[in-house]
Structure formats: structure tokens, C-alpha cells
């Protein structure tokens, strides 16, 4: 953890280092992924079988390639009642929020008599990647699958690795609840390639979303254009802007809720109260000991945590915009939070006031928890129904409208040296 | 040109070949681009200077790195009056259409008392790539710059190569009209890298859009994630669905308006009238001879053109959806065009009726002419203000709302093995 104060000499340089720090490993990932992607494209199921044997240590022909809907239903029925109603509440709220995102078609006729519009349609098929192991989260299944279903996607395919053949029943239960149509027990770059190109068994999809390790992220990046993807995701981060009236233990828990995800996660506190800053630093040390995730949280907090003391919370906001954080908590009185929010230009999701912990957005609030990381909130948005839809523009002119607009098109086409363009209009103007 | 009929044996296989044909070169482009991108990232202006000397054959320190706004204004003032008013009509209509795309913010409070919403903001800075040479089109400047300006982008940067130092006055005039803030005379993969990473002279941007050759497209693909990009663009295509009541010369001009772009372009006619099919094939031969672009149009039509005779225009539509064309003309009576349009699932832009040639959309109609190519209309959309904006979701709960939603979040966090997530909520519920 580093501690900074805006009044210290050298603050600018230190803060710039914080902004620019790359927490993403690359190494030979890109090269390995190119090899895997090419093998799946060329050899299909055989490559998928071989990579699964190698990386996940089980034989798909023995464990089975698919997990049947009946098995997902069983997993759902076996949930403890409290967990089942929590998942149901989450699903209901996420579905409602994303249904509200469906864009409206447009269709207008202008003064020239030209009818212009746009029509939104869902993609035919979408694939969602669900990690195995440490990051196998049923909430991620809901956050990826429900926007696709809200968009109207007919065929929703889930891929998830089952290392050593072991399945995660929570993930299957969420797949049932979210209406996933197919579940394949494959993972890694090979699973993304299978979704993009199709194999003998797996039909290709149009869009691939979902979190994954560096290999999965790189496979999505390499296959962008063959399929649509959501975003290249990196290690996640939280920025908490808090005044001294908060409970230090609560803010410490907020910071650690990001740190416990991964050693590369980042948690940063901005406060205008140096005494409160000390209290949070101490509370983090106390809280961290209570966590079953202490090892990861400790590693992340030590390497990437930061506490920045500022003159005023307002003065923190330009710094926050430079960080363009995935998650931003404005932990202060609601009126102050709203004032600060007006200064926010770049953030994935903002949590206002003292009673809105980031974790409430991870699970049940409704907005998506798949958000731009690594400063990408400068230009990209959280996952939404738009990632599973596309827009077709349309034009309809009658003779009168063409007579009005045509001559300008002819002039421009001729100026650009495209005579067939000009002819296609001019021939209709005779 | 190949000619197919749905009633012939072997049609399915032949049509599948047409759908899957890759018209994109790759070769060593990816490797070359990686080298160029790394050099610009590490060496900035020096690399930009060297690559420009090598590829564009002029010395930036002599010709000048920037083209000044005053020079763009001069180019604009020097336009022939007819061309100037054509450009102005186009700019006005494009700006109006794209202003209509600005998404609405949302802000609602649900029955649990949770306030949920989304706020859209423009990116801080955008870069647009404008090719030099054959594809230096002022219409492309308008189609890329005006959506950015409609979105509210403060800093709009144009890069354009000036081979042998020569500038294209039409492009400069369009830059003036569209309100471009900076023009740099650099191009190729090196210009895209300069926009993404910044150099000493060029400040980085958040989003890069615009057409380019294979190197430019690959640079955008590789830098996706460092910056936002519009879409990986490939060779363009048109599908014309026409009944026998059309003028064969008109439809031939429509097909050739795509063929004349590039040898890799594709033009495909579907018709239910075999006699009309023959007439169009003959008309293409006649028309092609009139064109100053005959060489390119001939090469493209011979290699990639197709005429497909179908039983009925309705029967053509599933085939059209498999092609997911960039441009689709439905050249028939308006009522029939609307009926056919209802079957369209995948197309970048659709032109309805006999009086709506595709070229009208290239220039003056209003909707964007930057559209998904290479079957990517399955999952992506034409350029819009959304490419220059991003959405921040926000949540604000009071004590009552947290009391209602909190326990479910705690249950899910515990089930996922994320105790700090659970603590951050539970501590607030005490």
C-alpha cells in the first residue's frame, strides 16, 4: 500500500505512476493463444478434446462434452432455500434493469420526404464464458446471460471449464435460472475459439462475453471481428472517496472487497481527513485477518492499494477521472455524493452515499457488474443489452426526395472520382 | 462473376462458398504492424518521423507535422460553389441524423427504494483516420467527424497521410466543415499507434475510428483495449434484391458502385427474373466501359460479382441474411420492399424501393456510411454517436433499500467465497 498526500512534494509524479501502472501480465500469452486458436479453427472437436485433456485433466469423451439442462435444473433444485431466493431476487432485478435498456427503433420522414430510421435486432446466438476454479461465480452467469436474454437472443451458449472433471453446482443452478440453452464443459482460449469458429459439435455464435484469465481475454481480443466481444477485461479496481464521518471498518471492508478478488486487483481511498486515513489503514489490517481470502487480499493491498489524502473531496475528482475506475464509491452524505457525481467523467459504475456498498451492485441491485477496467472507462461502458444487439439503418426515398438530394450526391461522387456512384443516382434522376 | 440459380443442383454448396469466401489479405501484416506499433509506443515522434519518411516519402520536419486550421479554411473557401453546397447539405443532414442518436440518461427509483440509473458522456478526445491516395474521401471525413462532434467530443484529431507531401484539398475542406480540431499529416499503422499512445507532439485520444488499408485495420485491432475503435473494417459489399420491373442499366450501376471501390469489393444481385438477370449482366458490361474506374470495377466484378436467380424475392431473404451484407438494396415497389425488409435480420444499411440507390446513403441521406463488412452485420452496427460516448451506471440506496436488498447480497457473497464482499454489506446492516 502506498500513501500519498496532494500537499507533498513529488505527488504529481507518484500519482502519475499509480495511474500508469500496468497490473496485467502478458508474457507469451499472445503467442500461445494464436497457436490454440489456429488449432481449434483447423481441427475443431479434436483440438478441443486434446486441449481439455491437457489443461483441465479430463477426457471429454468420458466425462461428457455437455452438461444437460436436466442437470442444471437438479443443481437449482438442490440449492439451500435462502440462496435460491437470493439468486431469484438477483435474477429478477438484473432482468428488469436490462430490459429497460432495450433501445428504441427510429423511423422519421424529414422535410425532403426522405424516410430514415434504424432498427435494432438481437444477434442470433451468443456465447458466455464462465471461469472454473477461483472465479466461478453464479452472479457472473446472471450478469452475462440475462442481458442476452433481455435482448432477445434465441440461442445462448455457456462454456465453462471443469478442471479434473469437477463441475460447480452454483454455476449450473444460475445457468438454469438465467435460461442458458447449452452448456459445454470446455474452457480457456480453446473454448473461445470454439464459440467463434464453431466445431463439429459446437455451432458458432455471433458474440462472446464473459470474464476469464489472461488466455481467455487474449483469445477474445484475437477473435474480435470474427465474433463480437464485450470488452478486453483486466484486473478490477475500486476507488472510494470518503469523508471522515464514515466508519473506518466499513470503508476498510469496501476496499478489501476488491482486494480479495485477485492479487492484481486495486483499491484506492481518497479522503480529506488524514486522521480517518490512518484509521482506515489500521482497520484494513484488522479486517484482513478475519478473511478466508486473507492471502489474496493481503497481496493485492500491499502491492496495489493506495490511500490518498486530499485537501477536499472536490479536489479528488480530477484525480479520480484520471484513474477512470471500474467502481467508484462516493461515501458521504447523499447531497455531497450528488455534487461529486457531477464531476465524474470516467467511471464504470458509481455508488452514491453511505448505504451503497459496491458489493450490492455485484449481486442484486440490477445494473451490470461487468464493467470496464484498466482505465478503459475513458471510452467504454459496462455490459448491456447493446452488446447482444445490432442496429440496421434504413432509408426510403421517393422520386421527389431523390430529386432534392440526388444532385448533391452526384456532385460529391464525381469529386471523389467514383463515377458509378454518380451514375447510380443520375440514371434515376432522368 | 458467378451465376447461380437456386433450382440448380449444387446450389447450396456454391452459395456456401460465396458466403465463406474470404476477400481479405493478411500475410505478414500482423507482424509488421506489431513492429511499427511497438516502435511508436517506445520512440514516439522519432518513429513517426522515420516511418513517414519511409512510407510516405517526405520529411515531416520540412513539410510540417500539422496542417493548420487556416489551411483547412482556405481549402474550404476554394471549393467550387456547387461542391461546397453539396458538402454543406451533406454535413447538415449527417449532423441532424446523428444528433438524433444521442441516448437518453436514465434515473429511476424502484419499489425497494433503490435509485438506479445510467449517464452517458462523450469521450474526451477522438481520433479519425482518413486515408490518402485512392480512398481519400471528404464524405468519410464528415461521416467520422460529425458523429463525434454530435456526441460532444471536445478534442477531435484527424490523421491523414500525405504521400510525397501532397495534401488532398477536399479532405481539408471537409475537416474545416466538420469542425476537426487538429490535423496531422501522418498515416498507416504508425498514425494509429500515435493516436493510441500519444507521442511528444500528438496527445493520445480515447477512441480511433475511420477506414484504412490492411495495416491501418490491423493496427486498430491490435490497439483495441488501449483505445476504443469503431470496427475492424474489411472489403465492402452490396447485395441488390431486384424484381424484373427495374431498369437493368440502373441496377448495373448500383452493382458497379460497389465494384469500383476496390478489387476486393463484392456485388451480388438476387432476382426472381432470369431474363432480367441476363439483361443486368449485359448492362454491367456496357456500363463498365463508361467508367474511369473501369479497371478496378472489372477486376472486382469478375472475381467477386454474383447473380443469383431465385424462385421469388421472398425466397432470397434467408440467403441475404446468411450474407449479412454491409449494404442491401430492395429494388421493387415500396410495399414489397417493406415486406422484404421485415425478413431482414442482418444488414448494415437497407435501401428501400426503386428510388433509393445505395450512393445516396454514401453522401447526403444522413445515416452513417461506415458500416459492418465481411458478414459482421451479424453482430455489429454502423458508426454512430455511441462509438464516441460511454455510459456510467449509478446506484444510490438509502438505509431502507439496503435493508431490503442487503441480506441477499450477503448470502450470494458468502456462497461465492468472497467474505469481504459480504462484510461490506453486513457491517452496514447492523
- What is the rounded CA–CA span in Å between residue A48 and residue A46? 5
Is A10 within a domain? no
Instruction: State the ipTM, two decimals.
Output: 0.95
CB contact under 8 A, B418 and A261: yes
DSSP assignments along B63-105, one per residue: H-SEE-HHHHHHHHHTS-HHHHHHHHHHHHHHHHHHHTTPPPP
Chain A residue with the nearest C-alpha to that of B108:
A97
Chain A nearest-CA distance from B427, in A, is: 6
Task: For residue B412, give the nearest of A363, A372, A386 by CB distance.
Answer: A363
- Local confidence band at B430 (pLDDT 50, 70, 90 cut-offs): confident
- How many angstroms separate the CA of residue B10 from the nearest CA in chain A? 22
**Residues constituting chain B:** 430
CA distance linking residue A3 with residue B101, whole number of Å: 44
Searching chain B, which residue's CA lies closest to the CA of residue A377?
Answer: B390
For residues A198 and A242, state if they share a domain. Answer: no
**B232 pLDDT exceeds 90?**
no
- Reported as type and span, the H/E element at residue A106 is strand A106-109
Q: How large is the average pLDDT for residues B127-155? A: 92
Q: Which of A218, A237, A326, A329 is catalytic?
A: A326
Tell me the average pLDDT across B235-248.
Answer: 96
Q: Is residue A267 part of a domain?
A: yes
Domain assignment of residue A5, yes or no: no
Residues A87 and A170 in one domain: yes
Domain match, A241 and A212 both: no
* Run of H or E including A279: helix A274-290
In a domain, B95, yes or no: no
How far apart, in Å, do the first and last CA atoms of chain A sit? 75
Q: Would you give the distance in Å from CA B277 to the centre of its chain?
A: 31
Q: What are the backbone dihedrals phi and psi of residue A38, each rounded to the nearest 5 degrees, phi first?
A: -65, -40
Mean pLDDT of B89-116: 96
Q: In the listed set A229, A257, A287, which residue is the last one of a domain according to the structure? A: A229
pLDDT at residue B25 is higher than 70: no
Residue B240 has pLDDT above 80, yes or no: yes
Q: Are residues B225 and B276 in the same domain?
A: no
Count how many domains chain B has.
3
Is residue A388 a part of any domain in this protein? no
The CATH number given to whatever domain includes residue A70 is 3.40.50.1980
Q: What is the dihedral of CA B310, B311, B316, B319, to 10 degrees?
A: -70
pLDDT of A53 reads 97
Q: Is residue A335 part of a domain?
A: yes
pLDDT digits (tens, 9 = 90+) for B178-227: 999 999 999 999 999 999 999 999 999 999 999 888 899 899 988 998 99
Which of B159, B164, B171 shows the shortest CA–CA distance to B201? Answer: B159
3-state per-residue secondary structure call for B213-256: CHHHHHHHHHHECCEEECCCCCCCEEEEEECCCCCHHHHHHHHH
- Is B415 found in the same domain as B269? no
Q: How confident is the model at residue A134, as a pLDDT?
A: 59
Cell numbers describing residue A343: 464531476
Kindly report, residue by residue over A188-202, the tens digit of the pLDDT. Answer: 999 999 999 999 999
**Helix, strand, coil shares, percent, chain A, to 5:** 50, 15, 35
- Mark which of B170, B197, B229 sits at the end of a domain: B229
Tell me whether residues A411 and B90 touch, CB distance under 8 A.
no
pLDDT at B130: 94
CA dihedral B261→B265→B271→B276, nearest 10 degrees, is: 50
Do A415 and B386 count as a contact with CB atoms less than 8 A apart? no
Q: Is the pLDDT of residue B295 over 70?
A: yes
pLDDT at position A212 is 86
Residue pLDDT tens, chain A, 430 long: 999 999 999 999 999 999 888 766 566 888 899 999 999 999 999 999 999 999 999 999 999 999 999 999 999 999 999 999 999 999 999 999 999 999 999 999 999 999 999 999 999 999 999 998 656 799 999 999 999 999 999 999 999 999 999 999 999 999 999 999 999 999 999 999 999 999 999 999 999 999 888 899 899 988 998 999 998 777 789 999 999 999 999 999 999 999 999 999 999 999 999 999 999 999 999 999 999 999 999 999 999 999 999 999 999 999 999 999 999 999 999 999 999 999 999 999 999 999 999 999 999 999 999 999 999 999 999 999 999 999 999 999 999 999 999 999 999 999 999 999 999 999 999 8
For position B198, what pLDDT does the model report? 97
pLDDT band at B26 (very low <50, low <70, confident <90, very high): low
**B151 in a domain, yes or no?**
yes
**Residue A19 falls inside a structural domain:** no
Tell me how far CA of residue A126 lies from CA of A229, B8, B25, B417, in angstroms: 10, 34, 28, 28
Q: Do A365 and B116 touch (CB under 8 A)?
A: yes
Q: Which domain holds residue A413?
A: 397-429
CB B350 to CB A395 under 8 A?
A: yes
Do residues B267 and B351 both lie within one domain?
A: yes
Q: Which residue is catalytic, options B237, B326, B329, B358? A: B326
**Percent over 70 (pLDDT), chain B:** 98
Distance from CA of A88 to the nearest CA of B (A): 9
Chain B residues whose CB is inside 8 A of the A427 CB are 247, 249-250, 253
For A103, which DSSP code?
P
Mean pLDDT over B125-147 rounds to: 90
Q: Do A89 and B247 touch (CB under 8 A)?
A: no
* Cβ neighbours for A158, distance < 8 A, ≥ 6 positions apart: A127, A128, A129, A130, A141, A145, A175, A180, A182, A183, A184
The CATH number of whichever domain residue A413 belongs to comes to: 1.20.5.1300
The reported pLDDT for the residue numbered B345 is 98
Closest to A420 (Cβ–Cβ): which among B121, B260, B396?
A: B260
Among residues A243, A246, A302, A247, which one has the least CA distance to residue A274?
A: A243
- Measure in Å the smallest separation between the Cα of A419 and chain B Cα atoms: 6
Active site includes A326?
yes
CA B99 from chain centre, in angstroms, equals: 17
pLDDT 10s digits, B30-60: 889 999 999 999 999 999 999 999 999 999 9
**Interchain pair A419, B292: CB under 8 A:** yes
Cα dihedral A285, A291, A296, A299, rounded to 10, equals 10
pLDDT at B170: 93
- Alpha-carbon gap, residue A306 to A267, rounded angstroms: 7
Answer yes or no: do B220 and B288 share one domain: no
pLDDT of residue A24: 63
Q: Are residues B322 and B306 in the same domain?
A: yes
State how far the Cα of B27 lies from the Cα of B214, in Å rounded to an integer.
10
Region class of A366: left (phi > 0), else alpha (psi between -120 and 50), else beta: left
Q: Dump pLDDT digits (tens) for B348-364.
A: 999 999 999 999 999 99
Chosen for mutation from A133, A394, A417 (greatest number of chain B CBs closer than 10 Å) is A394
User: pLDDT per residue over B9-24, tens digit each?
Assistant: 999 999 999 988 876 6
CA distance B88 to A158: 49
Q: Which of B212, B229, B246 is the last residue of a domain?
A: B229
The model's pLDDT over B66-77, given as tens digits with 9 standing for 90+, comes to 999 999 999 999
Please indicate, yes or no, whether residues A61 and A173 belong to a single structural domain of this protein.
Answer: yes
* B347 vs A contacts (CB less than 8 Å): 392
A171 & A58 share domain: yes
| Residues B359 and B255 grouped into a single domain | yes
CA distance A145 to A154: 12
Q: How far is B132 from chain A (nearest CA, A)?
A: 12
Quick: pLDDT tens for B367-426: 999 999 999 999 999 999 999 999 999 999 999 999 999 999 999 999 999 999 999 999
Q: What is the DSSP string of B326-358?
A: SEEEEES-HHHHHHHHTT--S-SEEEESTT--H
Looking at the fold, whether B320 and B416 belong to one and the same domain comes out as no
Asked if pLDDT for residue B320 goes beyond 70, the answer is yes
Alpha carbons within 13 angstroms on the beta-carbon side of residue A429 total 16
| A327 in active site | yes
Of A82, A392, A412, the CB nearest to B344: A392
Measured between beta carbons, which residues in chain A are less than 8 angstroms from residue B390?
Answer: 346, 372, 377-381
Chain B hits for A343, CB-CB cut-off 8 Å, are none
Amino acid at each position: 500500500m502506498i500513501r500519498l498526500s496532494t500537499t507533498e512534494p513529488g505527488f504529481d509524479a507518484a500519482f502519475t505512476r499509480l495511474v500508469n501502472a500496468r497490473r496485467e501480465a502478458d508474457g507469451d500469452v499472445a503467442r500461445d493463444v494464436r497457436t490454440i486458436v489456429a488449432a481449434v479453427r483447423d481441427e475443431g472437436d479434436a483440438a478441443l478434446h486434446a486441449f481439455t485433456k491437457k489443461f483441465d485433466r479430463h477426457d471429454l469423451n468420458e466425462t461428457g462434452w455437455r452438461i444437460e439442462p436436466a442437470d442444471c435444473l437438479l443443481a437449482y433444485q438442490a440449492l439451500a432455500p435462502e440462496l435460491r431466493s437470493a439468486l431469484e431476487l438477483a435474477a429478477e432485478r438484473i432482468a428488469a434493469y436490462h430490459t429497460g435498456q432495450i433501445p428504441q427503433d427510429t423511423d422519421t420522414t424529414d422535410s425532403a420526404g426522405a424516410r430514415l430510421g434504424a432498427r435494432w435486432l438481437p444477434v442470433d446466438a451468443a456465447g458466455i464464458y464462465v471461469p472454473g476454479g477461483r472465479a466461478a461465480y453464479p452472479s457472473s452467469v446472471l450478469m452475462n446471460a440475462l442481458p442476452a436474454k433481455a435482448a432477445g437472443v434465441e440461442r445462448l451458449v455457456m462454456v465453462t471449464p471443469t478442471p479434473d472433471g469437477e463441475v460447480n453446482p452454483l454455476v449450473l443452478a444460475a445457468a438454469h435460472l438465467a435460461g442458458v440453452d447449452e452448456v459445454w464443459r470446455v474452457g480457456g482460449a480453446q473454448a473461445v475459439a470454439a464459440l467463434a469458429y464453431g466445431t463439429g459439435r459446437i455451432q458458432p455464435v455471433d458474440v462472446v462475453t464473459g470474464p476469464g484469465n489472461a488466455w481467455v481475454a487474449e483469445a477474445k481480443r484475437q477473435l474480435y471481428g470474427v465474433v463480437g466481444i464485450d470488452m478486453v477485461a483486466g484486473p478490477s479496481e475500486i476507488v472510494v472517496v470518503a469523508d471522515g464521518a464514515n466508519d473506518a471498518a466499513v470503508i476498510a471492508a469496501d476496499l478489501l472487497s476488491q482486494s480479495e478478488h485477485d492479487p492484481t486487483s486495486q483499491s484506492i481511498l481518497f479522503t480529506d481527513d488524514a486522521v480517518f486515513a490512518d484509521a482506515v489503514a489500521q482497520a484494513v489490517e484488522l479486517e484482513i485477518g478475519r478473511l478466508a481470502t486473507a492471502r489474496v487480499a493481503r497481496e493485492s493491498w500491499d502491492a496495489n492499494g493506495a490511500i490518498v489524502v486530499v485537501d477536499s473531496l472536490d479536489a479528488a475528482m480530477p484525480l479520480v477521472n484520471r484513474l477512470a475506475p471500474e467502481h467508484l464509491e462516493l461515501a458521504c452524505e447523499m447531497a455531497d455524493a450528488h455534487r461529486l457525481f457531477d464531476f465524474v467523467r470516467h467511471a464504470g459504475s458509481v455508488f452514491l452515499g453511505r448505504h451503497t456498498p459496491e458489493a450490492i451492485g455485484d449481486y442484486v441491485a440490477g445494473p451490470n457488474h461487468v464493467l470496464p477496467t484498466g482505465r478503459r472507462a475513458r471510452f467504454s461502458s459496462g455490459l448491456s443489452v447493446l452488446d447482444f444487439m445490432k442496429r440496421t439503418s434504413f432509408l426510403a426515398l421517393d422520386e421527389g426526395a431523390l430529386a432534392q438530394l440526388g444532385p448533391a450526391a452526384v456532385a460529391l461522387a464525381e469529386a471523389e472520382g467514383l463515377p458509378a456512384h454518380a451514375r447510380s443516382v443520375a440514371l434515376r434522376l432522368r
